Structure 1
């Protein structure tokens, strides 16, 4: 199971990229948490991430 990202990483990622600013975000902090959790899960188990991906050929 993925650990919850630490607050320092969340704070750093919560600063929106230009395309995210253009689209808007109701909760940049929560958005950062979700992005980092997904990224950590993919890093911890890249084979499962490839199986789950709609972009990676099986």
Structure 2
């Protein structure tokens, strides 16, 4: 695994989004750290993490965009 996220980034991300405020968070700092670590892992190793991410489609299943 890569280095942990920078503390300034964690502090900034710990400010909850409106959706997160609606449901609350027991530990915004820890939540931010985990989110940033997972994001960094996906960025550094996209091929290894693609299957784990619901936001990363399989390149073989992506349909080309229509120009219409």
TM range (shorter): 0.7 to 0.9
Q: How many residues align?
A: 57
Shift in Å at residue 49 of structure 1? 1.3
Structure showing greater relative contact order (alpha-carbon pairs closer than 8 Å, 6 or more residues apart): 1
Relative to its length, the structure with more helix (as a share) is 1
**TM-score, normalized by length of structure 1?**
0.87
**TM-score, normalized by length of structure 2?**
0.75
For the aligned residues, what is the CA RMSD? 1.4
Structure number with larger C-alpha Rg: 2
Structure 1: 5+ residue stretches without partners: none
After TM superposition, what 4+ stretches of structure 1 lie above 6 angstroms from structure 2? none
Q: Deviations over 1:2-22 (max 9, x none)?
A: 210011000000000000000
Shift in Å at residue 51 of structure 1? 2.7
